[in-house]
């Protein structure tokens, strides 16, 4: 059968503007229609155009990806958050890539960064939407931090490169005069490279979650100043940032004195840095704040608060995952994923799961090729 050539009657720019509006799964199927469509959809330029458009408009609900913790074998799994919201079903699917010995270290632009070994021996990029994976590349990590390390994965838009940052959780001021080497910045590419950069000189430490959030070209962690404890046991919290373009840690932003019940994880909502926390003695499960302009402390605004009488576990650490256009909020609770309507102030549905101890990564669906950013096509 002769291979079809299609779309010849349409200008390429017009065809691109039509196709770029389609979701990833449909586009992946349309690659088989004809050679010209396959070539267009497979191009890195189209993947970037599709990603930028879906980011600027309201993106579809993300995939939820996770890996069982150290000591438990199993594949990297994912499920559609849309199925949780619309179908009220939790149907985890393994990604078609062996997960034993590999762990998720970050998510950015639809790619997961996987590590193997400790200290890390190899790094791999995986796109769970297209199930495409890059070859593993060697990585010379340091074990001087032991298990007490921070890690982040993000995209340097200026140089069109993906980078992994690995450093120690506590600053050099907390090391009892021990000289600590710098953090490692690893750059993916045809000729992967790494360099060391200085840790921040100001004191910082983690209390609980160490997840990073990529937003506005920076990696961000919520940390505390361990020297700031008051009589009321309040700590001073701030956002530790790393600029992927300049490859430097920034000054602390958003210093705040808070008596958190637990250290809340950072999140991203509407392309803005956000944090959701609850404080003791208040009838509120969590209050979500977003930073409308990254790095500007005065741009924090309260987006919503979830009261304690809606059926979500009061004693757990609640993590808002995604806000839909219809004002429904996808919330991770202990042993369950809930849908909460912000406008009606009520719990819409809940889906129970058995992965109480894993950290979920929200992975935007994209066509970004892992191999392209490892210099293989």
Question: What is the reported pLDDT for 175?
Answer: 46
pLDDT attached to residue 174: 43
Beta strand spans in 12-83 (E): 63-66, 77-80
Region of poorest pLDDT, from 109-113, 190-194, 320-324? 320-324
| Mean pLDDT calculated for residue range 88-97 | 64
Angstrom distance (rounded) from CA 344 to CA 74:
40
The mean per-residue pLDDT over the stretch 206-233 comes to 76
User: Can you list the pairs that 321-326 forms with residues at least 24 positions away whose Cβ atoms lie under 8 Å?
Assistant: 321/62, 321/64, 321/81, 321/267, 321/360, 321/362, 322/61, 322/62, 322/81, 322/269, 322/362, 323/269, 323/270, 324/61, 324/85, 325/58
pLDDT at 278 over 80: no
pLDDT at 321: 83
Instruction: Tell me what the pLDDT averaged over the chain comes to.
Output: 78
**pLDDT higher for 220 or 200?**
220
In angstroms, the CA 84 to CA 247 distance is 38
* Amino acid 222: pLDDT: 83
pLDDT score at 145: 65
239: β partners: 222, 253
User: What's the distance, Cα to Cα, between the start and end of the chain in Å?
Assistant: 28
pLDDT band at 187 (very low <50, low <70, confident <90, very high): very high
pLDDT of res. 177: 42
312 burial level (CB within 10 Å; 0-12, 13-18, 19+): buried
pLDDT digits (tens, 9 = 90+) for 338-368: 888 888 888 888 777 665 556 778 888 899 9
pLDDT of 224 = 78
The 3-state DSSP composition of the chain as helix, strand, coil percent (nearest 5) reads: 15, 35, 50
Strand partners, 262: none
Backbone dihedral region of 254: left (phi > 0), alpha (psi from -120 to 50 degrees) or beta? left
CA nearest 367: which of 174, 132, 204?
A: 132
Of 169-173, 319-323, 331-335, the range with the lowest mean pLDDT is 169-173
CA 286 to CA 306: how far, in whole Å?
6
Whether the Cβ atoms of residue 377 and residue 125 lie closer than 8 Å to each other: no
**How far apart are the C-alpha atoms of 241 and 13, rounded to whole Å?**
38
- pLDDT given for residue 207 in this prediction: 66
Residue entry with tokens 């602390």: 252
Three-state DSSP at 145 gives: coil
- How confident is the model over 250-274, as pLDDT tens digits? 877 776 656 555 567 788 888 888 8
Q: What is the mean pLDDT of residues 235-261?
A: 78
Report residue 29: phi and psi, to 5°: -75, -35
pLDDT at 78 over 80: no
Q: Average pLDDT of 60-82?
A: 69
Confidence of residue 150 (pLDDT cuts 50, 70, 90): confident
- pLDDT attached to residue 2: 41
Percent of the chain with pLDDT over 70: 73
Report whether pLDDT(218) > 60. yes
Backbone angles phi, psi at 68, to 5 degrees: -60, 150
Average pLDDT of the segment spanning 288-292: 88
Handedness of CA 220, 221, 226, 229 (dihedral sign): positive
Residues with Cβ within 8 Å of residue 189, at least 6 apart in sequence: 161, 373, 374, 375
Please check whether residue 286 is in contact with residue 276, taking contact to mean a CB–CB distance below 8 angstroms.
yes
Q: What pLDDT sits at residue 316?
A: 59
39-62 pLDDT, tens per residue? Answer: 999 999 999 999 988 877 766 777
Distance CA(218)–CA(258), nearest Å, equals: 24
Residue 221 contacts residue 207 (beta carbons within 8 Å): no
């Amino acid at each position: 059968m002769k291979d079809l050539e299609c779309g010849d009657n349409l200008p390429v720019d017009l065809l691109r503007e039509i196709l770029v509006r389609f979701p990833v799964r449909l586009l992946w199927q349309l690659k088989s229609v004809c050679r010209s469509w396959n070539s267009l959809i497979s191009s890195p330029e189209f993947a970037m155009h599709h990603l930028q458009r879906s980011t600027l408009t309201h993106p579809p609900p993300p995939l939820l990806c996770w890996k069982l913790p150290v000591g438990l074998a199993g594949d990297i799994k994912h499920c559609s958050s849309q199925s949780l919201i619309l179908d009220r079903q939790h149907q985890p699917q393994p990604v078609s890539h062996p997960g034993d010995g590999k762990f998720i270290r970050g998510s950015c632009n639809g790619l997961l960064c996987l590590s193997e070994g400790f200290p890390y021996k190899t790094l791999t990029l995986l796109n769970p939407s297209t199930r495409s994976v890059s070859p593993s590349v060697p990585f010379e990590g340091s074990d001087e931090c032991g298990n007490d390390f921070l890690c982040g994965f993000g995209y340097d838009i200026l140089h069109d490169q993906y980078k992994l940052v690995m450093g120690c959780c506590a600053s050099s001021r907390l090391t009892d005069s021990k000289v600590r080497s710098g953090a490692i910045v690893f750059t993916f590419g045809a000729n992967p490279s790494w360099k060391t950069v200085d840790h921040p000189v100001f004191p910082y430490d983690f209390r609980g979650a160490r997840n990073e959030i990529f937003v506005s070209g920076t990696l961000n962690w919520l940390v505390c100043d361990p020297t700031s404890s008051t009589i009321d046991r309040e700590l001073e919290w701030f956002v530790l940032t790393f600029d992927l373009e300049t490859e430097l840690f920034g000054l602390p932003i958003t210093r705040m004195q808070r008596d958190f019940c637990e250290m809340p994880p950072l999140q991203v909502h509407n392309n803005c840095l956000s944090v959701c926390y609850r404080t003791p003695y208040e009838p509120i499960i969590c209050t979500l704040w977003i930073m409308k302009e990254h790095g500007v402390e005065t741009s924090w605004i309260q987006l919503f608060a979830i009261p304690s009488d809606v059926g979500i576990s009061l004693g757990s650490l609640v993590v808002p995952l995604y806000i839909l256009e219809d004002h429904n909020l996808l919330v991770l609770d202990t042993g369950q994923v809930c849908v909460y309507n912000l406008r009606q102030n009520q719990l819409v549905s809940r889906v129970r799961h058995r992965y109480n101890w894993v950290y979920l990564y929200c992975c935007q669906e994209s066509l970004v090729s892992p191999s392209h950013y490892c210099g293989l096509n």
